[in-house]
């Protein structure tokens, strides 16, 4: 029975580490999304310069459009065929964190649907649009920071679960060794 528990613990530990890799990959994409939002914020602020003409604003808008497209592509990223990001409320996944299946931790596919909608609306081709974009971008940066905080907390929980599995495995192996001795 102990040997079977050790094998289940190994398999559970592998599953927990895979889930943690999923979250780390998701966070990496969100980190790049943050860079994109920061660049768009910079462009929107530059577009508020009264010395810029319509051709300058059009160039800023061209770059914003390209960054919007890139963000949209990033949100379709997957990890082993599983979407990193979901939409709506059905984004929860359950990770078993004990060899007997009694303990679980929930992780989520971050919901980018509202963020994607607001990002697509950024328009810095006019002064008024640039002012509105800066306000919207600040809100979106905060939303993204909130998502990254949840992701980090979930990674921490899985790390603690992996640590406990490792400790349990060592104790099970020690028990088997004592019994055999």
Q: Is the pTM of this model over 0.75?
A: yes
3-state SS assignment for residue 24 = helix
Helix (H) or strand (E) holding 58: helix 54-74
pLDDT exceeds cutoff 90 at 123: yes
Give residue-wise pLDDT tens across range 43-54: 999 999 999 999
Question: How far apart, in whole angstroms, are the C-alpha atoms of residue 121 and residue 136?
Answer: 9
Q: What is the pLDDT of residue 139?
A: 94
Contacts of 32 (CB under 8 A, 6+ apart): 74
Q: Helix axis angle, 127-180 relative to 54-74, nearest 10°?
A: 20
Helix (H) or strand (E) holding 129: helix 127-180
């Amino acid at each position: 029975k102990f040997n079977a528990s050790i094998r289940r613990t190994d398999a559970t530990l592998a599953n927990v580490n895979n889930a943690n890799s999923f979250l780390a990959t998701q966070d990496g994409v969100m980190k790049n999304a943050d860079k994109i939002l920061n660049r768009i914020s910079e462009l929107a602020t530059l577009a508020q310069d009264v010395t810029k003409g319509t051709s300058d604003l059009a160039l800023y808008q061209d770059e914003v459009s390209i960054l919007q497209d890139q963000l949209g592509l990033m949100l379709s990223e997957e990890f082993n065929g599983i979407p990193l990001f979901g939409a709506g409320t059905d984004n929860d996944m359950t990770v078993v964190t004990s060899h007997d299946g009694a303990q679980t931790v929930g992780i989520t596919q971050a919901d980018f649907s509202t963020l994607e909608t607001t990002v697509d609306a950024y328009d810095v081709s006019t002064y008024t649009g640039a002012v509105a974009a800066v306000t919207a971008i600040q809100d979106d940066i905060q939303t993204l920071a909130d998502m990254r905080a949840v992701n980090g907390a979930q990674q921490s929980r899985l790390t603690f679960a992996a640590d406990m599995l490792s400790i349990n495995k060592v104790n099970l192996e020690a028990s088997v060794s004592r019994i055999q001795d």
